[in-house]
Amino acid sequence: MLNYVLRRGFMALLVALTVSFGTFALFHFATDPAQTIAGEDAPQEMVDEIREQYGFDRPVLVQYGDWLGGVLQGDFGKSYFWKQQVVELIQEHAKVTILLALSALMVTVAIALPLGISAALKPNSWVDRLALSTAVSAQAIPNFWLGLMFIILFAVTFPIFPVSGDATWKHYVLPSLVLGASSVPAVMRLTRTGLLDVLSSDYIRTARAKGFMGYRLILQQAMRNALLPIVSVLAVQLGHKLGGSVVTESVFSMNGLGRLAVESIFNSDIPTVQSLILIFVLTFVLLTLAADLINAWLDPRIRMG
Amino acid sequence: MTTASILDIQDLSVEIPTDSATLKAVRGISLDLKRGETLGIVGESGSGKSMTALAIMNLLPPSARRAAACINFDGSDLTHSGERELATKVRGQRIGMIFQEPMTSLNPVYSIGRQLTETMTLHRNVSGAEAEQRAIQLLEKVGLPDPASRLKQYPHELSGGQRQRVMIAMALMNEPELLIADEPTTALDVTIQAQILYLLQDLQKELGMSMILITHDLGVVSRSADKIAVMYAGDIVETGTAEEVLRNPQHPYTQGLLECVPGYRGNDAHRLGSIPGIVPSMTGTIRGCAFASRCPRAVDACKTDLPPRKQLGPGRTYVCHDPDATRNQATFGAEEAANEVAVELPKTPGDTVLTVDSVSCTFSVRRGLFGKRKSLKALDTVNLDIRKGEVLALVGESGCGKTTLSRTIMGLQQPDTGSVSLGQHEISTLPAGQRARMIQPIFQDPYSSLNPRKTIGDIIGRPLVVNRIGSKSEQLAKVHKMMEHVGLPRRVFNSYPDQLSGGQRQRAAIGRALIMDPEIVICDEPTSALDVSVQAQILNLLLDLRDELDLTYLFVTHDLSVVQHMADRVAVMYLGEIVECGDRSQVLSNPKHPYTSALLDSALSISPDLSVPAPGLSGEFPNPMNRPSGCPFHPRCPVAEQQCREEVPKPEIIDTTFVKCWKARTFSHQAKHQ
């Protein structure tokens, strides 16, 4: 087991470093950071001076090493655009995003799992059809549109929740629903097909021959097997929510990491963008790792393989 | 034995609706089983045996529909029991069930211990500790060493044979009155099969259980069953005691099945009997006898009128018109068999075409990132030669290195030391194309070894295209000729593999192998995925083709009856070594190695007056990673002595037979049985 954790952890670190170096290099080849800092119309001497002063004339690998060394000591650099330490910026925005992502995940699980399970228990029944049509429509409806409709319905027509912002828990209800709904189709379908697969397997037939039926058959025999792919997909979905809920954050005017990233990109704020990418990648990689570990705990074949 | 019935089934039908029509999987069968008795249900795949077994406790797939006049189990009618009543009162408690696939029938994410104990705690008010006690007892009884520590293990840590033992223990947790075993040994090696059947027989006597044993293997059923029901196309076509049915079969189908079994006609018969065609699928209104289209005795009435059930005595029935006009008509290619005997000439050994010269193959296996590398010796100084025109059988249990050896011979696996040479050439130095022209394989599973997206014509002609042999029209002509050779009708040229039956697919695989005119054909268990009637067709075909095309076969198999029928010479493998190799008659009738002798004992021929013999081999096939010292066979060998444990036996030749055993000169197969 320890062996497994170490191996996966090592791989995760490798992936994170590769992606962050890739984006770092891309930025340096695609844009000229000295020009960005100096401004569009600055004279060439000034740009050159900034280039030398900031060390942009050194090889990319050296610059990356330099930056990474800082990151390891908690120094993510200073934002060109916000004129603020990147660490502070991220701290300010991360709280909103984490809260939003976690509550959205709860919405997804609360809708998708029961719906998927009941659909699998009675394939081709009305529950199944309801679940599948929910999935199709949820997949077809764009996030921003659903967000706007929610605002019109629950904030304007019936003013139950606030229209925008991130001050109180009430501000999070509508965005969580919108963001959570976007993952429902994938998770629901996976629960349904996964459970259907498991239920038609030989070992479930064995369990039935032993006298298992009803909820015991599902919970004590089938569910653990069906959970494996669901855990993996939930991790990816949570990663998306933590990294890229740009649309939802924009529609509800929430000051999360997604919006910070977009604005930093528009303003070519390289230190912020780089730091955010590193954080997004690390989050993703760590979540996948967590999913793998949960799956290893659930399934002895992974644990001992 | 009391005479009270424990199970009485009347008029049971199972129907499975499909998109196009409703399939009648079981058609109004009646069965009767007395307390303590074993009923064997035999038939080919698709005959409805498994559906019958599942129908008893209503474990059928959700789409299937069951109907029955009654399923009387110990006085109560199970047709009236709802799902809840079946689950809480019958399943796993009074009726236990063992399934065919030990590899997939245990829940992979729960420990053996949990899966055993829950069977008991689910139904009875017992503590976990009591259930665990019982589980340990049963695991011990089914012959798993160190049962207490097994409880913590997971299914994937056990071998197929071990898992099947766990399945049996699980079915017995609540001491059921009836045990239904659906092909319990089909997926296992012959040695394990004999152990499991012996175990079931033993447990049954001890616990006074009744048993329904479902199998396609007539040898198995002849040894284990008191009564036999032969199923065909969803109907029971013949019943009687094992003795009556196997000694004096009345239904042409039963006769045909027996004729197909290698060895049934005597070892000298050149050809096996075979049943032409395949089991028809039963849809729509059934007219006439379902077997009529394949029956050599069929007359017009058979095709139009439902056959009557004839009673010969108590419990002895068969369903057949039994037309007088064809009463003495020879059945199933027997006249050919009579002709063939004269044709068989004593064979003079041909020149050696292929030589395997002290080939060793070691794989390095590592567990985990930081685990130690361990070496796995798959082949250990193997010497073998194959002579022109012969059939050399390679026999051994799974894991013994048969596959590695055949891969090495085909040049797909580089040996660490030693060489394989074909005529003048060393295999490893030949370019792939030339190698393929000389050696071609036929694989075990015709369902997965043919590309599902190519037509049969494409598949057979593919080697010609790959190696650019001949023009388009020449290739086409060759394919057509080959299809004729292997007995494929012209119309399947444009069919896809999934439109063909298993036998036809294997014919296509044979055609593909032979189209290059190879020197040597490597047949890797070519019939073990097939029904016995189809197996007979394929074996006949392989022998015919050898005579017609002057072929040489390396025949890899675990089935000794097939070896007996096909082989000129036999090589027996154990843990990567050839332990005995010689002429078929020598090796099979007078084996010099105790392992060969044990294999022979495990092979169950059809003999209803014999029971399953006590297993001659103790224990399981060892893990090749932990090779025993000295003679690798010594831990399981009945005659092993100190020398065997310490020194690796020297190869020697005794009466033209190669053998590797310290006791070969004193060991006698016959003496063991006196």
Task: Please give the pLDDT value at position B413.
Answer: 87
Task: Judge if A208 and A293 occupy the same domain.
Answer: yes
Cα three-residue angle B115-B120-B126, rounded to 5 degrees: 125
> CA-to-CA distance for B575 and B185, rounded, in angstroms?
22
Nearest CB partner across the interface for A203, out of B96, B107, B118: B107
Angle between helices B594-602 and B190-207 (to 10 degrees): 50
Q: How many CB pairs under 8 A join A and B?
A: 85
Token pair 């030339």 is found at B434
Q: Taking 90 as the threshold, does the pLDDT of residue B428 lie above it?
A: no
* Pick from B235-249, B258-272, B507-521, B563-577: least confident: B258-272
Tell whether B122 lies on the interface with A, counting CB pairs under 8 A.
yes
- E strand residue ranges, B20-64: 22-34, 38-42
B59, A208: Cβ pair inside 8 Å? Answer: yes
Task: Please give the pLDDT value at position B349.
Answer: 63
Choose one of A19, A43, A72: the last residue of a domain.
Answer: A72
Nearest CB partner across the interface for B91, out of A204, A208, A300: A208
Name the maximum alpha-carbon separation found in chain A. 84
> CA-to-CA distance for B513 and B527, rounded, in angstroms?
15
> CA-to-CA distance for B527 and B657, rounded, in angstroms?
27
Task: Please give the pLDDT value at position B45.
Answer: 83
Per-residue pLDDT averaged across B154-163, rounded? 87
Give the DSSP per-residue string, A239-304: HHHHHH-HHHHHHTT---HHHHHHHHHHTT-HHHHHHHHHHHHHHHHHHHHHHHHHHHHH-HHHHH
Tell whether B605 lies on the interface with A, counting CB pairs under 8 A.
no
Task: Judge if A144 and A261 occupy the same domain.
Answer: yes
A7, B123: Cβ pair inside 8 Å? Answer: no
Task: Judge if A176 and A290 occupy the same domain.
Answer: yes
Task: Please give the pLDDT value at position A20.
Answer: 86
Q: Taking 70 as the threshold, does the pLDDT of residue B333 lie above it?
A: no
Tens digit of pLDDT for each residue in B12-21? 999 998 888 8
Token pair 């004279």 is found at A43
Task: Please give the pLDDT value at position A203.
Answer: 94
**Residues near A83 by beta carbon (within 8 Å), at least 6 away in sequence:** none
User: From the CA atom positions of chain A, what is the Rg in Å?
Assistant: 24
Task: Please give the pLDDT value at position A83.
Answer: 83
Per-residue pLDDT averaged across B431-447, rounded? 86
Cα three-residue angle A100-A264-A280, rounded to 5 degrees: 50
Task: Please give the pLDDT value at position B672.
Answer: 66
Task: Judge if A110 and A259 occupy the same domain.
Answer: yes
Tell whether B150 lies on the interface with A, counting CB pairs under 8 A.
no
Task: Judge if A210 and A279 occupy the same domain.
Answer: yes
**Within-domain flag for A169:** yes
Per-residue pLDDT averaged across B249-276, rounded? 82
Tokens linked to A305 = 């393989």
- Among the listed residues B24, B523, B7, B32, the one whose alpha carbon sits nearest the alpha carbon of residue B284: B24
Cα three-residue angle B378-B153-B599, rounded to 5 degrees: 40
Strand partners, B343: none
Amino acid at B295: C
**Within-domain flag for A85:** no
Task: Judge if A103 and A200 occupy the same domain.
Answer: yes
Length of chain B: 674
**Within-domain flag for A88:** no
Per-residue pLDDT averaged across B265-279, rounded? 74
Task: Please give the pLDDT value at position B1.
Answer: 42
Contact list in A for residue B108 (CB cut-off 8 A) is 203, 225, 299-301
> CA-to-CA distance for B413 and A35, rounded, in angstroms?
61
Helices (H), ranges, chain A: 2-30, 33-38, 44-54, 60-72, 86-121, 126-140, 143-150, 170-199, 202-210, 214-216, 223-244, 246-251, 257-266, 270-298, 300-304
Q: Would you say the C-alpha torsion B431, B434, B438, B440 has a positive or negative sign?
A: positive
Tens digit of pLDDT for each residue in B645-655? 888 898 888 88
The confidence band for B348, taking pLDDT boundaries of 50, 70 and 90, is low
**Within-domain flag for A175:** yes
Contact list in A for residue B157 (CB cut-off 8 A) is 304
**Within-domain flag for A277:** yes
Angle between helices B190-207 and B160-172 (to 10 degrees): 10
Tens digit of pLDDT for each residue in B498-539? 888 888 899 999 999 999 889 899 999 888 878 888 888 899
Residue of A nearest to B53 (CA): A209
The confidence band for B341, taking pLDDT boundaries of 50, 70 and 90, is very low
What value does the mean pLDDT of chain A take? 88
Is-contact A237 A290, C-beta < 8 A?
A: no
- Among the listed residues B433, B412, B492, B501, the one whose alpha carbon sits nearest the alpha carbon of residue B460: B492
Is-contact B181 B213, C-beta < 8 A?
A: yes
Choose one of A11, A43, A72: the last residue of a domain.
Answer: A72
**Any idea of the CA torsion for A18, A20, A22, A27, to the nearest 10 degrees?**
-170
> CA-to-CA distance for B587 and B589, rounded, in angstroms?
6
Amino acid at B156: H
The secondary structure of residue B361, as a DSSP letter, is E
Q: What domain count does chain A have?
A: 2
B107, A207: Cβ pair inside 8 Å? Answer: yes
Nearest CB partner across the interface for B369, out of A7, A221, A299: A7
Per-residue pLDDT averaged across B54-74, rounded? 91
Tens digit of pLDDT for each residue in B628-664? 888 989 888 888 888 898 888 988 888 888 999 998 8
A301, B111: Cβ pair inside 8 Å? Answer: no
Residue of B nearest to A216 (CA): B122
**Within-domain flag for A86:** no
Comparison of pLDDT for A154 and B262, the residue scoring more: A154
Q: Taking 60 as the threshold, does the pLDDT of residue A229 lie above it?
A: yes
CATH number at residue A292: 1.10.3720.10
B123, A220: Cβ pair inside 8 Å? Answer: no
Comparison of pLDDT for B463 and A41, the residue scoring more: B463
- Among the listed residues B89, B34, B24, the one whose alpha carbon sits nearest the alpha carbon of residue B55: B24
Nearest CB partner across the interface for B99, out of A202, A216, A220: A202
Q: Would you say the C-alpha torsion A12, A14, A15, A17 has a positive or negative sign?
A: positive
Residue of B nearest to A8 (CA): B369
Task: Judge if A101 and A248 occupy the same domain.
Answer: yes
The confidence band for A67, taking pLDDT boundaries of 50, 70 and 90, is confident
Nearest CB partner across the interface for B57, out of A201, A209, A224: A209
Task: Please give the pLDDT value at position B460.
Answer: 94
Percent of chain B with pLDDT over 90: 40
Strand partners, B70: B10
Tens digit of pLDDT for each residue in A230-252? 999 999 999 988 886 888 888 88
Tell whether B109 lies on the interface with A, counting CB pairs under 8 A.
yes
Q: Taking 60 as the threshold, does the pLDDT of residue B38 lie above it?
A: yes
Give the DSSP per-residue string, B604-669: --S-TTS-PPPPSS-S-PPPTTSPPSSSTTGGG-TT--HHHHHSPPPEEEETTEEEE-TTTTT--H
B118, A220: Cβ pair inside 8 Å? Answer: yes
Q: Taking 70 as the threshold, does the pLDDT of residue B366 lie above it?
A: no
By residue range, what is the domain housing residue A168?
93-304
The confidence band for B135, taking pLDDT boundaries of 50, 70 and 90, is very high
What value does the mean pLDDT of chain B take? 87
> CA-to-CA distance for B229 and B315, rounded, in angstroms?
10
B86-105 residues touching A, CB cutoff 8 A: 87-88, 90-93, 96-97, 99, 101, 104-105
Tell whether B151 lies on the interface with A, counting CB pairs under 8 A.
no
- Residue to mutate among B93, B94, B105, with most A CBs inside 10 A, is B105
Contact list in B for residue A302 (CB cut-off 8 A) is none
**Within-domain flag for A142:** yes
B107, A205: Cβ pair inside 8 Å? Answer: no
- Among the listed residues B347, B355, B376, the one whose alpha carbon sits nearest the alpha carbon of residue B364: B376
User: What ipTM describes this predicted complex?
Assistant: 0.80
Per-residue pLDDT averaged across A32-53, rounded? 81
- E strand residue ranges, B35-82: 38-42, 65-67, 70-73, 76-77
**How many CB atoms within 10 Å of residue B638?**
13
The confidence band for A38, taking pLDDT boundaries of 50, 70 and 90, is confident
**Within-domain flag for A158:** yes
Q: With b meaning 16 or more CB within 10 Å and e meaning fewer, what string describes A90-102?
A: beebeebbebbbe
Task: Judge if A154 and A209 occupy the same domain.
Answer: yes
Tell whether B431 lies on the interface with A, counting CB pairs under 8 A.
no
Is-contact B400 B574, C-beta < 8 A?
A: yes
Percent of chain B with pLDDT over 70: 93
> CA-to-CA distance for B131 and B173, rounded, in angstroms?
8
- Among the listed residues A251, A252, A253, A276, the one whose alpha carbon sits nearest the alpha carbon of residue A264: A276
Q: Are strands B235-241 and B316-319 parallel, antiparallel or unpaired?
A: antiparallel
Q: Give the minimum alpha-carbon distance from B129 to chain A in angstroms, rounded to a whole number.
A: 19
> CA-to-CA distance for A262 and B527, rounded, in angstroms?
64
- At residue A154, the 3 state secondary structure works out as helix
Contact list in A for residue B131 (CB cut-off 8 A) is none
Task: Judge if A159 and A260 occupy the same domain.
Answer: yes
Residue of A nearest to B158 (CA): A301
**Any idea of the CA torsion for B384, B386, B392, B398, to the nearest 10 degrees?**
40
Contact list in A for residue B58 (CB cut-off 8 A) is none
Nearest CB partner across the interface for A211, out of B92, B99, B368: B92
- Among the listed residues B263, B221, B268, B264, the one whose alpha carbon sits nearest the alpha carbon of residue B245: B221
Per-residue pLDDT averaged across A35-46, rounded? 80
Task: Please give the pLDDT value at position B465.
Answer: 92
Domains of chain B, earliest start first: 9-247 (3.40.50.300), 252-318+331-341 (no CATH), 366-435+513-672 (3.40.50.300)
> CA-to-CA distance for A101 and A237, rounded, in angstroms?
9
Task: Judge if A129 and A62 occupy the same domain.
Answer: no
Task: Please give the pLDDT value at position B334.
Answer: 47
Strand partners, B557: B395
Task: Please give the pLDDT value at position B345.
Answer: 47
Element (DSSP H or E) covering residue B537: helix B532-549
Q: Taking 70 as the threshold, does the pLDDT of residue B581 lie above it?
A: yes
Task: Judge if A66 and A98 occupy the same domain.
Answer: no
Task: Please give the pLDDT value at position B638.
Answer: 85
Tokens linked to A167 = 């001050």
Tell whether B591 lies on the interface with A, counting CB pairs under 8 A.
no
Is-contact B489 B276, C-beta < 8 A?
A: no
Q: Would you say the C-alpha torsion A139, A141, A143, A149 has a positive or negative sign?
A: negative
Residue of A nearest to B101 (CA): A202
Helices (H), ranges, B124-159: 128-141, 147-150
Residues of A with CB under 8 A from a CB of B: 3-4, 6-7, 200-213, 216, 220-221, 224-225, 298-301, 304
Task: Judge if A97 and A65 occupy the same domain.
Answer: no
